[in-house]
Amino acid sequence: MFLENKANRESQKGWIEVIVGSMFSGKTEELLRRLKRAKIAQQKVEIFKPMVDVRYSDDEVVSHDANAIRSTPVESSGNIMLLSGNVNVVGIDEAQFFDDGLANVCHQLANQGIRVIVAGLDMDFKGKPFGPIPSLLATAEYVTKVHAICMRCGDLAQFSHRLSDEEKLVVLGEKGDYEPLCRCCFLKANS
């Protein structure tokens, strides 16, 4: 049975979908929507998140709106390959927190006929490209950029402005730690 499923999977076309945007833009919500639809279609789905992300749950991917789906927390992108046997769809949340090997892992999975859906921040709090996301954006078949609403002027927001003076790159946060800002308000806040 496993060899038959593996042969079917390898004859299928795999691909990579990337969902990016600022904090509070609905990235995880869109990831969950796509994964739930795959489950409705009777596809075998496996979801991964970085072990460092324990804001809402240790073993679930949870959106800011409190929608959730069971996931497997992993330390590195290499673990995703080890744990993705016999699936049709792999979901990866908070991809910016993974190592640079994530793009290669996603390509290997897609080459095996697996649909890979990745969600993450495309920019850090300074407005710079974040982690493995730029490489995934350049090589994915499908890219969706979602936007939040600027908390200062109401325009579309694409930047995640950190409200504290913390300078570390990775600071897990929620509402009260970050706010989505448009380009104009982001430049004003950082001048």
CA atoms in the 13 A half-sphere facing the CB of 134? 7
At 45, list the tokens: 């789905």
- On whether the CB atoms of residues 152 and 181 are closer than 8 A, the answer is yes
191 contact partners, CB below 8 Å, separation of at least 6: none
Out of 10, 94, 141, 174, the active site residue is 94
Helices (H), 84-155: 102-111, 133-139
Residue with tokens 């850090």: 124
- Name the H helices within the chain: 2-11, 27-40, 77-82, 102-111, 133-139, 183-189
Residue 179 a catalytic site member = no
Handedness of CA 21, 134, 109, 170 (dihedral sign): negative
Q: Which two tokens stand for residue 4?
A: 């038959």
How far, in Å, CA of 62 to CA of 71, rounded? 9
The C-alpha atoms of residue 152 and residue 139 are separated, in whole angstroms, by 34
Q: Which residues are catalytic?
A: 94
